[in-house]
Amino acid sequence: MVDKTVPDIVVGRLPRYLQALQRMQQEDILTTSSQDLGERLGISAAQIRKDLSQFGEFGKQGTGYSVSFLVNQVQEILNVNKVWDIVLVGAGDLGHAIARYQGFSNRGFRIVMIFDADEHKVGKQIGKLEIHHVSNLKEKVRAAGVKIGMLTVPASVAQKVAEELTEAGVQAILNYAPVPLSVPKHVRVQHIDPIIQLQHMTFYLE
Amino acid sequence: MVDKTVPDIVVGRLPRYLQALQRMQQEDILTTSSQDLGERLGISAAQIRKDLSQFGEFGKQGTGYSVSFLVNQVQEILNVNKVWDIVLVGAGDLGHAIARYQGFSNRGFRIVMIFDADEHKVGKQIGKLEIHHVSNLKEKVRAAGVKIGMLTVPASVAQKVAEELTEAGVQAILNYAPVPLSVPKHVRVQHIDPIIQLQHMTFYLE
DNA sequence: CATTGTGAACGGGTTCACAGCA
DNA sequence: TGCTGTGAACCCGTTCACAATG
C-alpha cells in the first residue's frame, strides 16, 4: 500500500487534509467529498482523490468520505495515530513560545525535553519542563529514545546542535534557524524561516 | 525581463539563494558558481542557472557570479532592496517572540505596529513598540500604508483579522494560525504551521 | 444521481548537454 | 580551460474524463 513510490509532494499535502478534516470533526460534520474538502483547501477535487488513492480506497461512490474514518486513515498513514516525543533545543523567546504552545498534543506531538547553552537558564522551568544544559543533550536524548528535534538556537550553532541530535538518534529536525543544515541521509529536515516566506510575497508586491 | 511567466516555484527559491549569498558575503566570499551555490543549498547547478536566467544574465563564463552583485540583483528582483513595514497582530507568546526577533532588519523587514484584542496588553511595550487595541487596526494600518501583516492570533479569530487587514490595504499575510484563510485574489498568503511540517516528517519515521 | 477511483492526456518544471565566451 | 546560458529531451505531477457503484 505505502510504496516508496508515493511522491513526497503528496505526503506534504496529507497533513493539510488532516487539519481540515479534524476541523470538520470539531464542527460535527460527519461526511465530506473530494470537492468539499478541495474547496476548503484550495486544491482540486481530482488531486485529492488521486492523492488518497495512493494509500487505499477510503470513499463511497455517491456518498463521499466519512470524516472520522478518513481522519483515522490519514493519521495512520502519517504515523500520527500516536503521540511523538520532541526535544526542543534553544530556550530563547521563540523556544519559550513554542514550549508553551498548547496546540501540539491533539495533533500528535509533545515536547518532553528542553535544552539550552546558557547556564543562567538551566534549571529554570517552562511550564512543567526543566531546562537542561546542552552538555547533557546527547546522553539524555538517546536514553529517552526521542526521534524528533526542534531547533530554536542561533544560526551560528545550529549545525553543531543538529549533529549532536543526529548522533543521539534523532531522525527528524524542524529547524527554525536561518541556515541550511547538513545531516546524514536518513535524517529529515524541515525549515521554518518567516523571512524567506515574506520575501516570496514581496516579489509580487507593488 | 520579469515576465508574468516566471513560475511561482522559481520565485520561492530565490529567497533561499539570497540567504546563502548573504551568508557568503559575511564570510567575505567574493565569487561563487552555480555549482558551489547548489551544493550549499542541495539544489542542482543547472536549476540555479535556469532560475537566474529568468531574470537576466548575471554571471561570467569561466568565472561564475560576483556574490555582491548577485545579492543586489536578487534583492531587486524580490523587492527587498528596501525595508518593508510589517504589522503584527497577536501579542501572545509567539507574537512577543517575533516582535523581539532581531533578524528582520538586515533582510528587508521591520515590524512597525503591534495589535492585540486583550485590554490588559494594550498600552504595554514590546521593545520600542506599544501594543494597540485591534479596534484601531483598520484605521492605523491604512494611515501608515502598511502592506504586510503577520498573524499570531488564535485560530478562531484569524479569518476575521485577515479580513480587517485586507480592508486596511494589506496585500501580503504571513499566517501562523493553523487555519486556511480566505482572502481576495490580490492578497498573498503564506502559512507557517510547525505541526504540518512535523507530520510531513513522521510519515517517514519508524 | 452523486461521487469515487483511475487510466490517459496534458502541461510544465527539471535535467541534460553543448555552444559560446571570458 | 571553466563556467554560464539555453534549447531540447525527459520526467513527473496534475487534470481530464469516464466507467463503476452505492
How far apart are alpha carbons A74 and A64 in whole angstroms? 15
The answer to whether the Cβ–Cβ distance between B148 and A197 falls below 8 Å is no
Q: Are A152 and A92 in contact (CB under 8 A)?
A: yes
Identify the H or E element spanning B148.
strand B148-151
- Segment 43-72 of chain A within 8 Å of chain B by CB: none
Three-state SS for B49?
Answer: helix
Q: What is the DSSP letter of B177?
A: S
- How high is the mean pLDDT of chain B? 96
Q: Shortest Cα distance from B40 to chain A (angstroms)?
A: 8
DSSP letters, B150-166, are: EE-S-HHHHHHHHHHHH
The answer to whether the Cβ–Cβ distance between B196 and A78 falls below 8 Å is no
Identify the H or E element spanning B109.
strand B109-116
The answer to whether the Cβ–Cβ distance between B172 and A201 falls below 8 Å is yes
Residue nearest to nucleotide D7 (CA to C1'): B50
Assess A171–B contact: CB distance below 8 Å, yes or no: yes
Query: Within 7 Å: CB of A7 and strand D?
Result: yes
The answer to whether the Cβ–Cβ distance between A202 and B97 falls below 8 Å is no
Assess B180–A contact: CB distance below 8 Å, yes or no: yes
- Could you tell me the pTM of the whole model? 0.96
How far apart are alpha carbons A71 and B86 in whole angstroms? 37
Q: How far is the CA of A143 from the C1' of D17 (A)?
A: 55
Residue with cell 460535527: A28
Checking if the pLDDT of A2 tops 60, the result is no
Query: Within 7 Å: CB of B50 and strand D?
Result: yes
Binning chain B into helix, strand and coil, the percentages to the nearest 5 are: 45, 20, 35
B10: nearest nucleotide, CA–C1' criterion:
C13
The number of beta carbons lying within 10 Å of the beta carbon of residue B56 is: 12
The answer to whether the Cβ–Cβ distance between A198 and B77 falls below 8 Å is no
Name the residue among A108, A192, A198 with its Cβ closest to that of B197.
A192
SS (H, E, C) chain A: CCCCCCCHHHHHHHHHHHHHHHHHHHCCCCEECHHHHHHHHCCCHHHHHHHHHCCCCCCECCCEEEHHHHHHHHHHHCCCCCCEEEEEECCCHHHHHHHHCCCCHHHCEEEEEEEECCCCCCCCEECCEEEEEHHHHHHHHHHHCCCEEEECCCHHHHHHHHHHHHHCCCCEEEECCCCCCCCCCCCEEEECCHHHHHHHHHCCCC
Checking if the pLDDT of A161 tops 70, the result is yes
- How high is the mean pLDDT of chain A? 96
Query: Within 7 Å: CB of B69 and strand D?
Result: no
Assess A37–B contact: CB distance below 8 Å, yes or no: no
- The confidence band for A206, taking pLDDT boundaries of 50, 70 and 90, is confident
How far apart are alpha carbons B170 and A181 in whole angstroms? 34
CA distances from A194 to B1, B134, B184 (A): 27, 23, 22
| Per-residue pLDDT tens digits for A79-114 | 999 999 999 999 999 999 999 999 999 999 999 999
**Section A72-81 average pLDDT:** 98
Assess A151–B contact: CB distance below 8 Å, yes or no: no
Query: Within 7 Å: CB of A60 and strand D?
Result: yes
List of chain B residues with pLDDT < 50: 1-3
Residue with cell 529536515: A189
Q: What is the DSSP letter of B104?
A: S
Give the pLDDT confidence score for residue B162 in this predicted structure. 98
The answer to whether the Cβ–Cβ distance between A101 and B94 falls below 8 Å is yes
Checking if the pLDDT of A17 tops 70, the result is yes
How far apart are alpha carbons A170 and A155 in whole angstroms? 19
Give the pLDDT confidence score for residue A4 in this predicted structure. 58
Give the pLDDT confidence score for residue B1 in this predicted structure. 39
Checking if the pLDDT of A177 tops 80, the result is yes
